[in-house]
Amino acid sequence: MRRVFQIAAAVCSALAAEPPLVIQNAQVLTVTKGSFRGSVVIRNGKIAEAGEKTLVPLGAHVIDAGGQYLMPGIVDCHSHIAADSINEGSVSVSSMVSIEDVLDPEDIAIYRALAGGVTTANILHGSANAIGGQCVVIKLRWGKDARGLLFAGAKPGLKLALGENPKRQGYAPAQGRSPRYPATRMGVEDVIRQAFAEAKAYRQAWREYQDKVARGENAIPPRRDLRLEPLVEVLEGKRLVHAHCYRADEILMLLRLAEEIGFRVKTLQHVLEGYKVAKEIAAHGAGASTFSDWWAYKVEAYDAIPYNAALMLRKGVLVSLNSDSAELMRRLNTEAAKTLKYGGLTEEEALSLITINPARQLEIDDRVGSIEPGKDADLVLFDKHPLSSYAKVQKVFIDGELYFDRDRDLSARPEREQRRKALVEREREAEKKQPSRTRDRDTERPQ
């Protein structure tokens, strides 16, 4: 009897689940397992099957993608979209603040990045301080609330920063105030070393307390320190370090410092002189999350070259290309394509820079970054090969759900424009009837 109930429950849940989705006749670029013309079957938000010949399950919704290209959703390892504020720059160590707590799900940059094929992004604290705040990985589920954006299960991060930004190059202190420490690259190193020394002592104090409790002693717990707790998580491998850097000398300094302290730098961000010390980066096991061809926008970025990504990759570094910009984020496929010209990467290697490699850097490669059965159905359909500058995103799926549809977007525009005009007109009419309305509202704003 129990068995009958179990079967009935399974049938009911199967009926309640979304019907399977099949994307047919596409050129499928899996990134990790080559490419083929065939289909991808999606069930319950996951890739169930991918191959040249797959059966269409009963009741499936079928999309004919003949002549189009299907690739994994793009992963951006460095972004600041969907964040209300990013720099708690008033102190040199701001590890107690968290981007996750100020996510803004209404930031239009989410939708625009989605329209460029990005499905996952690492939202970082800024680089104003040697140890910045906590970072969070999101999926670009446009329309969901802040909680709905979170990439459940992704490890949190911590931002570190070296060079001109944390030493406040060019920032004059307010009148009567002394400059914030540190003011040199030496000082940045000291701030990081000092903070982790405190974190180790803090961890030790808690361990001693827990030992006393285990022995049945009536012990007083140490005072909680929200600034040091994320650093302890780094020491214990529970939080990933993403470090903003440019110059070869400071990259080596940080790698040595991390080894001395006892943690691994998960990614070096920007890392424009990484090509000079690629062997050392690979030996440490750090990833490099760089730009394709941005340089000379500040003194410490003068030695950058567009071959950086390819040279580091050839030396065994796990490399990704990031945006660090809401605008660039919309065309990371073009950024990846540049590595075919600068460094001669293969098409698959180029695509890996914006898919599986950043997924590995964020330790979410068991979920996203390639088209393989069992992974999340985060997929992008392009009308042409994504490494062509003429390619346009047609559809974007996250967890098997359609979050961007170019046709739907284009057809909804006239109605949106009508609504916008109507709202502006209504506001104008209200202003005519009550001219002081706008002025009053401005002065009522909380200070």
Give me the residues that bind Zn ion (CB under 5 A), please. Answer: 324
Separation CA 290–CA 308 (nearest Å): 8
Q: State which residue, 233 or 324, has the beta carbon closest to Zn ion.
A: 324
Phi/psi for 124 (5° steps) reads -100, 150
Of 36, 211, 239, 271, which is closest to residue 137 (Cα–Cα)?
A: 239
Helix (H, G, I), strand (E, B) or coil at 240: strand
Separation CA 88–CA 226 (nearest Å): 15
Element of type H or E holding 57: none
Q: Give 3-state DSSP helix, strand, coil % of the chain, rounded to 5.
A: 35, 20, 40
Please, where are the H alpha helices in 25-184? 108-114, 146-149
- Tokens representing residue 288 in the block: 């490099």
Please, where are the H alpha helices in 17-169? 108-114, 146-149
In the complex, least distance from residue 78 CB atom to Zn ion, rounded to whole angstroms: 6
- Tokens representing residue 443 in the block: 């002065």
In the complex, least distance from residue 358 CB atom to Zn ion, rounded to whole angstroms: 14
In the complex, least distance from residue 127 CB atom to Zn ion, rounded to whole angstroms: 6
Q: State which residue, 205 or 326, has the beta carbon closest to Zn ion.
A: 326
Which burial class, exposed, middle or buried, applies to 309 when counting CB atoms under 10 A from its CB (0-12, 13-18, 19+)?
buried
Q: State which residue, 123 or 231, has the beta carbon closest to Zn ion.
A: 123
In the complex, least distance from residue 159 CB atom to Zn ion, rounded to whole angstroms: 8
Q: State which residue, 300 or 324, has the beta carbon closest to Zn ion.
A: 324
Of 131, 171, 371, 373, which is closest to residue 265 (Cα–Cα)?
A: 131
| Neighbour count for residue 173 (Cβ, 10 Å) | 11
In the complex, least distance from residue 382 CB atom to Zn ion, rounded to whole angstroms: 27
283: Cβ–Cβ under 8 A, 6 or more apart, which residues? none
* CB-closest chain residue to Zn ion: 324
In the complex, least distance from residue 238 CB atom to Zn ion, rounded to whole angstroms: 23
Separation CA 184–CA 351 (nearest Å): 38
In the complex, least distance from residue 308 CB atom to Zn ion, rounded to whole angstroms: 17
Separation CA 251–CA 254 (nearest Å): 5
Q: State which residue, 324 or 378, has the beta carbon closest to Zn ion.
A: 324
Q: State which residue, 114 or 161, has the beta carbon closest to Zn ion.
A: 161
In the complex, least distance from residue 409 CB atom to Zn ion, rounded to whole angstroms: 28
Torsional sign, CA 119, 125, 127, 133: negative
In the complex, least distance from residue 325 CB atom to Zn ion, rounded to whole angstroms: 8
In the complex, least distance from residue 270 CB atom to Zn ion, rounded to whole angstroms: 8
In the complex, least distance from residue 88 CB atom to Zn ion, rounded to whole angstroms: 14
Helix (H, G, I), strand (E, B) or coil at 42: strand
Q: State which residue, 27 or 308, has the beta carbon closest to Zn ion.
A: 308
Q: State which residue, 21 or 243, has the beta carbon closest to Zn ion.
A: 243
Question: Taking the CA atoms of the chain, what radius of gyration do you get in angstroms?
Answer: 25
Separation CA 425–CA 355 (nearest Å): 45
Separation CA 289–CA 281 (nearest Å): 12
Three-state SS sequence of 289-306:
EECCCCCCCCHHHCCCCC
Q: State which residue, 320 or 394, has the beta carbon closest to Zn ion.
A: 320
Phi/psi for 440 (5° steps) reads -60, -45
Q: State which residue, 273 or 324, has the beta carbon closest to Zn ion.
A: 324
Q: State which residue, 77 or 310, has the beta carbon closest to Zn ion.
A: 77
